[in-house]
Amino acid sequence: MPEGHSVHRIARQFARNFTGKPVAASSPQGRFAEGAAVLDGREMLQAKAVGKQMFLEFDGDVWLRVHLGLYGAWDFAGEILVDPTIASANGRMGQTNQRGTDLDEQIFDDAGENSLSSIGAPRRSRVHVRMSEQTRGLVDEGEQWPPPVVGQVRLRLLTDITCADLRGPTACVLQTPDEVLGTIAKLGPDPLVGDPAEGEERFVAAVRRKATPIALLLMDQAVVSGIGNVYRAEMLFRARLNPHTPGRDVPEEVLRELWHDWVRLLAIGVETGQMMTMDDLDPEAYRAAMASRDDRHWVYHRAGLPCRVCGTEIALEEIGARKLYWCPSCQR
DNA sequence: GAACTATGCGGAA
DNA sequence: TCCGCCTAGTTCA
CATH number, domain of A112, equals 3.20.190.10
Torsion of CA A114, A74, A69, A51, to 10 degrees: 80
The confidence score (pLDDT) of residue A161 equals: 95
CB A278 within 8 A of CB A296: yes
Q: What is the separation of C-alpha A47 from the centre of its chain, rounded to a whole number of angstroms? A: 14
A71: nt with nearest C1' to CA: C7
C-alpha separations of A322 from A164, A242, A316, A319 in Å: 31, 16, 10, 5
Nearest to A50 by CA among A188, A176, A175, A157: A188
Residue A130 is assigned to a structural domain of this protein: yes
What's the domain range around A144? 4-183
The residues of A annotated with a catalytic role in the active site are 2-3, 52, 322
Q: What is the pLDDT of residues A136-160, one digit of tens each?
A: 334 444 568 999 998 889 999 999 9
DSSP for A274-309? S----TTS-HHHHHHHHHSTT-S-SSTT-TTSBPTT
Same domain assignment for residues A81 and A225: no
Residue A267 is assigned to a structural domain of this protein: yes
d(CA A174, CA A34): 10
The confidence score (pLDDT) of residue A126 equals: 37
Q: Which of A183, A215, A239 is the last residue of a domain?
A: A183
- List the A73 CA – C6 C1' distance (angstroms): 12
The confidence score (pLDDT) of residue A72 equals: 92
Radius of gyration of chain A (CA): 20
Q: Which of A120, A152, A183 is the last residue of a domain?
A: A183
Same domain assignment for residues A129 and A82: yes
Same domain assignment for residues A76 and A104: yes
Q: Show which positions of strand B are touched by protein (CB under 7 A).
A: 5-10
- List the A69 CA – C3 C1' distance (angstroms): 16
Q: Which of A167, A183, A199 is the last residue of a domain?
A: A183
- List the A66 CA – C3 C1' distance (angstroms): 23
Residue nearest to nucleotide C5 (CA to C1'): A170
Residue A332 is assigned to a structural domain of this protein: no
d(CA A184, CA A49): 10
C-alpha separations of A98 from A33, A95, A229, A281, A293 in Å: 32, 10, 13, 24, 11
pTM for the full model? 0.87
Sign of the C-alpha dihedral computed for residues A106, A147, A49 and A184 taken in this order: negative
Residue A224 is assigned to a structural domain of this protein: yes
Q: Show which positions of strand C are touched by protein (CB under 7 A).
A: 1-3, 5-11
Same domain assignment for residues A122 and A34: yes
Regions of chain A where pLDDT drops below 70 = 1, 87-143, 288-295
d(CA A68, CA A52): 8
Same domain assignment for residues A210 and A308: yes
A71 touches strand C (CB under 7 A): yes
The confidence score (pLDDT) of residue A83 equals: 84
Q: How many domains is chain A built from?
A: 2
The confidence score (pLDDT) of residue A135 equals: 37
Same domain assignment for residues A229 and A314: yes
The confidence score (pLDDT) of residue A192 equals: 97
A68: nt with nearest C1' to CA: B8
Residue A209 is assigned to a structural domain of this protein: yes
Q: What is the pLDDT of residues A239-255, one digit of tens each?
A: 999 999 999 999 999 99
Q: What is the pLDDT of residues A30-43, one digit of tens each?
A: 999 999 999 999 99
The confidence score (pLDDT) of residue A94 equals: 64
A131 touches strand C (CB under 7 A): yes
A69: nt with nearest C1' to CA: B8
A232: nt with nearest C1' to CA: B7
- List the A320 CA – C1 C1' distance (angstroms): 9
- List the A205 CA – B7 C1' distance (angstroms): 26
A118 touches strand C (CB under 7 A): no
Same domain assignment for residues A170 and A273: no
- List the A6 CA – B7 C1' distance (angstroms): 10
Residue nearest to nucleotide B10 (CA to C1'): A170
Residue A10 is assigned to a structural domain of this protein: yes
